[in-house]
Structure 1
Amino acid sequence: MTGSELPHLLRVARGEILARPPVWMMRQAGRYMKVYRDLRDKYPSFRDRSENADLAIEISLQPWRAFQPDGVIMFSDILTPLPGIGIPFDIIESKGPIIDPPIRTQEQVDNLHPLDPDASLPFIRTILQTLRQEVGNQSTVLGFVGAPWTLAAYAVEGKSSKNYAVIKGMAFSAPDLLHSFLGKLADAIATYVCYQIECGAQVVQMFDSWAGELSPQDYEVFALPYHQQVVKAVKAKHPDTPLILYISGSAGVLERMGKSGVDIVSVDWTMDLAEARQRLGPAMKVQGNMDPGVLFGSKDFITERILDTVRKGGGQGHILNLGHGVLPGTPEENVEHFFTISKQVDQLLAVQA
């Protein structure tokens, strides 16, 4: 397949300079869409929706049918691979993930086993292969995974947390235990990323959602080495597949994210995108970074913010996205406007020039 036949997002992720940045949204399949809420009412278990291939495919394609984004990300959860290494979990709709018992001892870590995706995650192959068939070269199919620190935080805390006291307590009082756990998670995640690529994912995003809670010095000890471990293992097998790293609240560790080995750093909305590009250096591609709350504004306001973001993106090596996921309650017509304007942005900027 020649470069011009590849989908728009994949071409930019691999370094091509095109007339406009490709565009998709984190959490673009989800609660803001009525068709999703209707399906959720019929199938109330999140794991049923994400691990039943037919349902996950349908949910993944809902925003693509409605808005034609340049990226279609599979509907799943960052915790999905954990049972495959021996950590069961549940997701309660109003409470979030629950892991019981949480991981607190070396014996528990020692009892974990390597991930065999075909045995424990066979639905992933069906989901990704079908998405590739459905969208063809009209859009890029994205996979995603959780990063070791964030998965460890869920597993050690046993649930979502506001202060991360349990895992930080382990980090600072029993670091060898935590490092052994993080190393096993990194091995499993690398295996899972490779599996997603082999099943059809063209780009994979790694979410380290809770790493922004680490100080820069602790990020360098408990997050960055395991990003590097995952990326190194994946690139050894799939050197041409672009990898994205996203951390919420990442302003304090931005340059360190650039040392992870990924191809693209996804920037949240709490920092200026032009400043982020300057801090990361010219070789690093970026994704982001419009505040999801902007989508509650007027259409004119949304348009201006899109144009401002694209200007600050610098005209190359930029994937347009939100700085976090679409918020529940976001008007669907505003999401539609976001995608419509984003695909006309080169023309609009030319008029203003």
Structure 2
Amino acid sequence: MSHLKNDTFLRALLRQPTEYTPVWLMRQAGRYLPEYCATRARAGSFLDLCKTPALATEVTLQPLARYDLDAAILFSDILTIPDAMGLGLYFAEGEGPKFERPLAEEWAIRDLKAPDPHDHLRYVLDAVSEIRRALDGSVPLIGFSGSPFTLACYMVEGEGSDSYTKLKTLMYSRPDLLHHILDVTTTAVTDYLNAQIECGAQAVMVFDSWGGMLSQAAYLEFSLPYMARIMAALKRENEGRTVPRIVFTKGGGLWLEDIARCGADAVGLDWTIDIGAARRRVGDQVALQGNLDPTILLTTPEAVAAESKRVLASFGHGHGHVFNLGHGISQFTPPDNVRVLVDTVHAESRQYHAD
């Protein structure tokens, strides 16, 4: 077994006893950190930052140098898979990600192939290996991917959207074509995450960022079953340890019971659901990750501490809670407020883990 100086995060995901509630933050390596902005400027572009393992390693480690976080998360982007499928990912200055060749024609959808991650996504796997070496067993490394449905949204729309009209039109008029995209993408995500595990990721997370904009019937047909397929096909062990699996559907609180049955070890929650109520709904089926509103971090240290305590108190006594934000950290967050959050969670959570 690989030696880990701090495996609190992994134990919490498996609902094993811990001395305190572990904490990490979605987008913890990001634009709110001046050192990240300096490295990104040196890289020249966001994509070059993602595709240069040494720089991806550097930014992955930056928040760990500042804060006593319980996990590192691979620095990458969820759109690496469609980029490897040949859709031509690019970032316009001041805008979000876009694709040069979105899926608009039936022939293009039928031609879609899952890329070999060892070939087309080698730079990500090299970053995983390099980050593991740099961490030197201090904390676990999280690997991740977008969910098949979320990737399909970008692949069909060609960019982010408020309404996802193109995707939903395809879904309702040609469900067979959307299922084909999801089929291929599920294979791609499974292969990608298993390759990350082989290269050293000690937990993996699937980000279903856009599943929450579906109707219940559509979510249960086009998003959740594909994530369940991935969960069933992931490597369960590596280096003598169980590799925990996390799923996170933003806006998925309505379907919490269904999500808890998809085969994941932990379910991420956004801030719209009370974590104590969520715990009562799913019982001891899964660990829960979340779920502080990231906007709190734009306020005062006192408000950050008070709201962090409220989330801990809502989850209550016992194990199986990984503290996180309900979504990614804002680029406008004062870095000192993150320290208050991490230190508050570590200090205040011990009372909930005492026998």
Aligned equivalents of 1:119 and 1:140: distance in 2?
25
Tell me if structure 1 keeps the 8 A contact 2:289–2:322: yes
Q: In the TM superposition, what are the counterparts of 1:68-217 in structure 2 within 5 Å?
A: 68-217=68-217
Alpha carbons 2:14, 2:287 under 8 Å: kept: no
Query: Is 1:124–1:199's contact at 8 Å kept on the other side of the alignment?
Result: no
Choose the corresponding residue for 2:332, options 326, 329, 338. Answer: 329
Shift of 1:84: 2.4
For residues 281-312 of structure 1, the C-alpha deviation after alignment (integer angstroms, 9 at most, x for no partner) is 22211000001111122222222221221122
1:46/1:93 contact within 8 Å kept: no
List gaps (5 residues or longer) in structure 2: none
1:110: how far off? Answer: 2.5
Q: Determine the C-alpha separation between the residues in 2 that align with 1:236 and 1:303.
A: 36
In the alignment, structure 1 residue 316 sits paired with structure 2 residue 310: no
Matched, 1:300 2:302: yes
1:152 maps to amino acid: A
Secondary structure of 1:246's aligned partner = strand
Q: Is this contact kept in 2: 1:3–1:11, CA < 8 A?
A: no
Q: Which residue of 1 aligns with 2:343?
A: 340
**How much has 1:258 moved relative to structure 2?**
1.4
Deviations along 1:302-325, one digit per CA (max 9) or x if unpaired, are 222212211222331010011111
Q: CA contact under 8 A between 1:194 and 1:237: conserved in structure 2?
A: no
2:231 aligns to what SS in structure 1? helix
Say which of 252, 259, 262 aligns to 1:260. 262
| 1:348, distance to aligned residue in structure 2 (A) | 6.5
| Aligned twin of 1:286 | 288
Partner SS, residue 265 of structure 1: strand
Offset at residue 240 of structure 1 (A): 2.7
Shift of 1:132: 1.6
Gaps of 5+ in 1: none
- The separation in 1 between residues aligned to 2:260 and 2:235, in whole angstroms, is 16
The corresponding residue for 1:59 is 59
Counting matched residue pairs gives: 351
Deviation string, structure 1 residues 205-227 (Cα, Å, up to 9, x no partner): 10010000001111011101111
CA-based RMSD of the aligned residues comes to 2.1
Check whether the contact 2:32–2:334 (CA below 8 A) recurs between aligned residues. Answer: yes
- Amino acid aligned to 1:261: G
TM superposition score normalised by structure 1: 0.94
Identity, % of aligned positions: 35
After alignment, is 239-248 or 205-214 more displaced?
Answer: 239-248
* Shift of residue 104, structure 1, vs aligned partner: 2.3
Q: What is the alpha-carbon distance in structure 2 between the residues aligned to residue 199 and residue 263 of structure 1?
A: 21
Q: Does structure 2 retain, via aligned residues, the 8 Å contact 1:25–1:322?
A: yes
Change in Cα spacing, 1:77 to 1:334, as seen in structure 2 (3 Å) is: same
For residues 338 and 242 of structure 2, what CA distance do their matches in structure 1 show?
31
Contact preservation (8 Å) 2:3, 2:137: no
Q: Give the alignment partner of residue 276 of structure 1, picking from 275, 278, 286.
A: 278
TM superposition score normalised by structure 2: 0.93
Q: Deviation string for 1:146-176 (max 9, x for gaps)?
A: 0000000000011111101100000000000
Q: CA, structure 1 residues 46+4, in 2 after alignment: closer, same or farther (shift >3 Å)?
A: closer
Is the deviation greater in 300-309 or in 166-175? 300-309
